[in-house]
């Protein structure tokens, strides 16, 4: 039995029912096999066994009062996965799908993503099964305050620095930070994604989307291609999708899709970004509103999606940017993308493609940018926010954006060179995972049995 299966069997026995975590672990463990076979040091030091177990897992009850004065109860999580390279860093997700397996998969991915940036960041993730949709601002504030009241004692600017994720935007970060400050009487950079007026960084909101596009451009340039003139499919309509669309326009591409939990829009003339921002950032509404102002666009409700697929991937294009959530792009979707002429898939979300879809991308020779590398722009800019907080300065938009571009270029170069080192130049799944693993594993070895 291989070390991969042995490790997965042990995880399934000790942490049952965490399928997303097993999926993330399998991808990494299978990718790093050439490194393990080449250098027995990693096996001798039991790095794999140590790496797949979080250093600390926090599970707590969050009780809060709704607008009808009823006491509500949610589960809160924080997985402090690995601190070999620096303080734990990773977002908080508020969504009804959140459970221990989701948080562990996200935290595990975060270890390698953060390592690839070259910045001093460990890996962690957190969140709750609280659903902010349909809740008033007052309810969201009370929930955030209750959540932080349980978590604050485990945070610190050199210990654990959360950020936002799905369901946690600038509003939620503000409420969380305010409660942390109240409880600790300390004004420190313990959260990133803060408002620009009180410690936030320019480009942070745009960073994950911009970074995914910068990565895609580097990836295509390596194949003598570019995004200029290409039709692009984008899923999602949160921060990542919005600013992926914005940067695609800036680089001369034409984004024609977006989606939310109810359905997707296909607009062959190009997505109306100003309207999309109005609907999602101001009104917090549904994409059904988009079609009211653009009757020439096409709206497909979730009930009309192909079985075991997502409609957004079934339109003609040359590049695709999955930017919504995990496992949103299936093998059926991958086949449709390939048949419809897509040559590049770059992941803005965390693990948005199933393992079967990834196999099809690699088999077809697509320019495929895995999420660990392609969506690292968000956490990279979070670290830039931490640096600005520590020095009590604020950098200009251009300065942060230039640093982001360099970080994404460096991540691509490292992943590409590592893949080439192991004889698979076009397999960035292998290159990304080995590069991230090697940096973390070497630090763990040098720090001893801790």
Catalytic residue set: 125
Cα Rg, the chain, nearest whole Å: 21
Joined together, the tokens standing for residue 30 give 């299978």
- Between CA 4 and CA 228 the distance in angstroms is 41
- 25: three-class secondary structure by DSSP: helix
Which strands sit side by side in the sheet containing 160-163, from one edge to the other?
56-65, 71-82, 122-128, 88-94, 160-163
- Between CA 103 and CA 93 the distance in angstroms is 8
User: In Å, how far are 259, 264, 338, 352 from 299, measured between CA atoms?
Assistant: 9, 6, 23, 22
- Between CA 173 and CA 374 the distance in angstroms is 24
Residues 212/377, Cβ–Cβ less than 8 Å: yes
Residue 346's φ and ψ, nearest 5 degrees, are -130, 125
User: In Å, how far are 74, 449, 450 from 446, measured between CA atoms?
Assistant: 40, 9, 10
Number of Cβ atoms within 10 Å of the Cβ of 9: 12
Within 152-230, strands assigned E span: 160-163
User: In Å, how far are 14, 255, 411, 433 from 439, measured between CA atoms?
Assistant: 27, 36, 13, 10
The burial of 363, by beta-carbon neighbours within 10 Å (0-12 exposed, 13-18 middle, 19 or more buried), is given as exposed
Say how many Å lie between the first and final Cα of the chain, rounded. Answer: 28
Longest dimension (CA), the chain: 63
Joined together, the tokens standing for residue 207 give 């960073």
């Amino acid at each position: 039995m291989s070390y991969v299966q042995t490790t997965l069997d042990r995880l399934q026995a000790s942490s049952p029912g965490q399928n997303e975590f097993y999926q993330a672990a399998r991808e990494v463990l299978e990718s790093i096999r050439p490194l393990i076979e080449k250098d027995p040091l990693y096996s001798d030091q039991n790095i794999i066994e140590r790496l797949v177990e979080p250093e600390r897992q926090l599970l707590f009850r969050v009780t809060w009062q709704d607008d009808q004065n009823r006491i509500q109860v949610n589960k809160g999580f924080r997985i402090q996965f690995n601190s070999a390279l620096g303080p734990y860093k990773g977002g908080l997700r508020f969504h009804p799908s959140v459970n221990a397996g989701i948080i562990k998969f996200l935290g595990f991915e975060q270890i390698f993503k953060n390592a690839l940036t070259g910045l001093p960041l460990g890996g962690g993730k957190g969140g709750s099964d609280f659903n902010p949709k349909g809740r008033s601002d007052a309810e969201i504030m009370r929930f955030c305050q209750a959540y932080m009241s349980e978590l604050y004692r485990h945070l610190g600017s050199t210990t654990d620095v959360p950020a936002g994720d799905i369901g946690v935007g600038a509003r939620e970060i503000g409420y969380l930070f305010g409660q942390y400050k109240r409880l600790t009487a300390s004004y420190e950079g313990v959260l990133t994604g803060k408002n620009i007026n009180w410690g936030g960084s320019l480009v942070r909101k745009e960073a994950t989307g911009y970074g995914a596009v910068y990565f895609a451009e580097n990836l295509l340039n390596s194949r003598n291609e570019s995004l200029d003139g290409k039709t692009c499919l984008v899923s999602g309509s949160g921060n990542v999708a919005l600013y992926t669309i914005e940067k695609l326009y800036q680089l001369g591409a034409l984004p024609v899709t977006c989606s939310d939990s109810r359905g997707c829009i296909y607009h062959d003339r190009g997505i109306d970004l100003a309207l999309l921002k109005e609907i999602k950032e101001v009104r917090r509404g549904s994409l059904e509103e988009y079609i009211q102002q653009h009757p020439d666009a096409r709206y497909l409700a979730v009930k009309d999606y192909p079985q075991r697929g997502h409609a957004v991937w079934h339109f003609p294009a040359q590049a695709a940017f999955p930017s919504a959530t995990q496992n949103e792009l299936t093998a059926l979707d991958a086949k449709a993308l390939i048949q419809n002429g897509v040559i590049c898939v770059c992941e803005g979300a965390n693990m948005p493609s199933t393992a079967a879809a990834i196999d099809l991308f690699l088999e077809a020779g697509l320019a495929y940018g895995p999420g660990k590398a392609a969506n690292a722009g968000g956490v990279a800019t979070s670290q830039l926010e931490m640096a600005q907080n520590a020095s009590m300065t604020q950098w200009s938009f251009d300065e942060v954006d230039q640093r982001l571009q360099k970080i994404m270029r460096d991540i691509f170069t490292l992943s590409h060179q590592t893949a080439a080192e192991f004889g698979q130049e076009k397999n960035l799944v292998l290159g990304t995972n080995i590069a991230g693993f090697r940096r973390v594993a070497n630090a763990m070895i040098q720090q001893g049995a801790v």
